[in-house]
Structure 1
Amino acid sequence: MAESASNTASKKLIQIDVSSDSVCPWCFVGKKNLDKAIEASKDQYNFEIRWRPFFLDPSAPKEGVSKKEFYLQKYGNRYQGMFARMSEVFKGLGLEFDTAGLTGNSLDSHRLIHYTGKQAPEKQHTLVEELFIGYFTQGKFIGDREFLVETANKVGIEGAEEFLSDPNNGVTEVKEELAKYSKNITGVPNYTINGKVKLSGAQPPETFQSAFKAASA
Structure 2
Amino acid sequence: MARDRRIGIEVYVDTVCPWCYIGKKSLDEAVRSYKAQNNPDVEFDIVYKPFYLSAKPERPGQQSPSKEAVYLSRRTPEDRAQLLRRLGAAAAPYGTRWSWAGRLGSSRASHRLLRLARGRGSDVQGRLLDEIFRGVFEEGQDVADPAFLARAAAGLNLGGDEVRRCLREQDAGVDEEARAAREDDEISTVPTFVVQGRWRVGGMQGKEVFARLFDKAIKAQLKTSRM
Q: TM-score range by the shorter chain?
A: 0.7 to 0.9
Q: Which segments of 5 or more consecutive residues in structure 1 lack a partner in the other structure?
A: 1-8
Q: How far apart, CA to CA, are the structure 2 residues paired with 1:68 and 1:76?
A: 13
1:118 Cα shift?
Answer: 1.9
The letter for the 1-side match of 2:67 is K
1:138 aligns with 2:139: yes
Instruction: Name whichever of 184-193 and 68-77 sits farther off.
Output: 68-77
1:121 Cα shift?
Answer: 4.2
Kindly indicate whether the alpha-carbon contact (under 8 Å) linking 1:18 and 1:50 is maintained by their aligned counterparts in 2: yes
User: In structure 2, which of residues 148, 159, 164 is the aligned counterpart of residue 161 of structure 1?
Assistant: 164
1:23 Cα shift?
Answer: 0.9
Equivalences for residues 62-211 of structure 1 within 5 A: 62=59, 63-72=63-72, 74-77=74-77, 78-158=79-159, 159-166=162-169, 168=170, 170=171, 172-183=172-183, 184-211=186-213
Could you list the structure 1 runs, at least 4 aligned residues long, displaced by more than 6 angstroms after superposition. Answer: none
Q: CA offsets, 1:111-138, max 9 Å, x none?
A: 1101111244430011111111111111
Q: CA offsets, 1:46-87, max 9 Å, x none?
A: 110100001111127744111112234543443343234323
1:45 Cα shift?
Answer: 1.4
For the residue of structure 2 that corresponds to 1:75, the secondary structure is coil
1:13 aligns with 2:6: yes
User: In structure 2, which of residues 39, 43, 63 is the aligned counterpart of residue 46 of structure 1?
Assistant: 43
Normalised by the length of structure 1, the TM-score is: 0.86
Q: Which segments of 5 or more consecutive residues in structure 2 lack a partner in the other structure?
A: 221-227
Root-mean-square deviation (Å): 2.0
Kindly indicate whether the alpha-carbon contact (under 8 Å) linking 1:60 and 1:104 is maintained by their aligned counterparts in 2: no
The letter for the 2-side match of 1:55 is Y
Instruction: Name whichever of 75-84 and 156-165 sits farther off.
Output: 75-84
How high is the sequence identity, in percent, across the aligned residues?
Answer: 30
Residue in 2 that maps onto 1:37: 30
For the residue of structure 2 that corresponds to 1:155, the secondary structure is coil
Instruction: Name whichever of 189-198 and 156-165 sits farther off.
Output: 156-165
The letter for the 2-side match of 1:58 is A
